[in-house]
Structure 1
Amino acid sequence: MNNFTYNGDFSNVAVGAALAVEGVSGFIANTFVLSVTLYQWKSLKQSSTIFFTSLILANLLMVLLHFPFTIIALAAGEWIFGSTDEEKTGTCAFAAFTFWYSSLVLVMTVAAISFDRFLFIVKPHLHKRFMRPWVALTLTIAIWILSAVLSSTPLYGLGGFGFNASIGMCLPFLIKDASVISAFLILILSLLLIIVITSLWTFFFTWWFLHKRSMVVESNIYSSKKRGLIGIFGAMLLVYGISKGPRIISLVLVQFDVPFSSTAEIVIYFVFQLSIIADPVVQSFFRPGFKQVLVSLFKKCKK
């Protein structure tokens, strides 16, 4: 008989309530941005919008298919989905798979968005030549398929899905095999490097361009744009650094049997999921015409 009862050292009800707020906020933010995207349907012909929509859908997948199981299980203090041990194991595997699947899609899609933005700003001739809408759509489909394959590794005997009694939720875990762990860490770290390098490169290139223009043309416009640029990119790197960094570090340390308290584990999980709210907010600033659509919708609502 598997253990499906929470035995951690934090208030499971309080954490469940906090995750509920996080989930509802994430659902509202992502649904709103998705609605604006569909309203501005012509923008779907742009590669950036295709990648951005994929990110929103991955966030909604996490919110709709993983959060409800986790919140209810924490509130109940046990995994209650199923009347038999086999049924609980099955629903637990589904919740854990959804978390693993959507997490991989999120990281890969953010890497694709960062690279697409890099080409669009730094190498516009290459972006126009290679990053066509059908290419972006093909890459997006490939990301979802590859994520499905990688998140199904327990079916191949490379780990499993199970209930983590110390934090009261179902999560995936990899086998203690050096080659398997190394492969996944190389994949995740490579994606993070793509995000950081392309984002920093794009930031400094744009800052240099605006600075050069401000030296030629005396105007406060370029100075304000530089401040806005620093704010947007700073927020983006801060969001991904804070939300993804601790999770990656914890995955590495766990493989070396470094102990974590249940409180530390749940804090890392909660911070990791904050990107569900931050993603649509931060990425919206890079969307062309997004502000105009909001203004247009606001005027229509007033009428």
Structure 2
Amino acid sequence: MPTKLDQKTGSTKSAATKQRRIKKGVDAEDKAFREERPKPAQLGARKYPEPPFPKQHHPKPGHEYQIKPAPLYDAPFYIGSKKLDGKVALITGGDSGIGRAVAVLFAREGADVAISYLTEKTDAEATKKAVEAEGRRCITIAGDVSKRAYCLRAVQRTIKELGSLDVLVNNAAFQIHSAKFEDLTPEHFDTTVKTNLYGYFHMAQAAIPHMKPGSAIINTGSITGIDGSKELVDYSMTKGGIHAFTRALSANLLSRGIRVNCVAPGPVWTPLNPSEKEAEDVAQFGSKTPMKRPAQPEEIAPAYVLLASPHCSSYITGEILPIIGGY
């Protein structure tokens, strides 16, 4: 007759056997999962381009019409519902990328749009036509946002030609990688800071005196401003500054009824990156995100509609919204 010790030994052996059996099954499943390479996530209304992309490098500041495949901005399945009916928006860097997609959706929601751009006239005109195709007015204004006089002039022209200013989107940016920190020159650093921080500051100061309660400012930040990027030390610093600027300015303007928020994207397929990365790196752009691909501009733009519309975000201010393809 088995003793209590025998019963206990048999029980522990059985438990150990069960654990080994579970481990063996998990090992087989893990091996099969590793051999099956994860595919880029396709969770939208249409299929989006996936790496590898054609190897390409374009001169600064980058032109959307040269990028292959062309960034997707028109959001054909997005249906407007007058969220910005009768509003006027000024979008810096609105000629291409996220700025163009935002301009199109703003127009689809009923807004007239002013586009600020540097020198990319062909891209700006394409954005203008896309806005007008939505039945709204659009003007284009060339200039450098790092210059205070230009920012004042852009706001004045927007109000003169479109009648008011209800939404400011600070989106223009300068970005160039520098692998070795010592190679980051003062000129490079100065250009990044002047474009990404001074530009937002000057444009906001120019716009705010003309904005009524219910108006909104939306800044474009970046995941680099949260996590940092070892080859984008200057850019990461400015984007972190933009996040802090958003929080501080939102508190400053709350009593005046002006909301201030920030969208912080991860990799997005725009002219910004193919104009500063090596061709081999461009081919794999966005492949390291959890979704294994970069976002397309039209996937980011609805967040700007949310933050611009008082119907959607009347209780949202001082927020930084990361859109990075998963954690």
Higher helix share: 1
Larger Rg: 2
Q: Which has the higher strand share?
A: 2
| Same fold at TM > 0.5 | no
TM-score when scaled to structure 2? 0.28
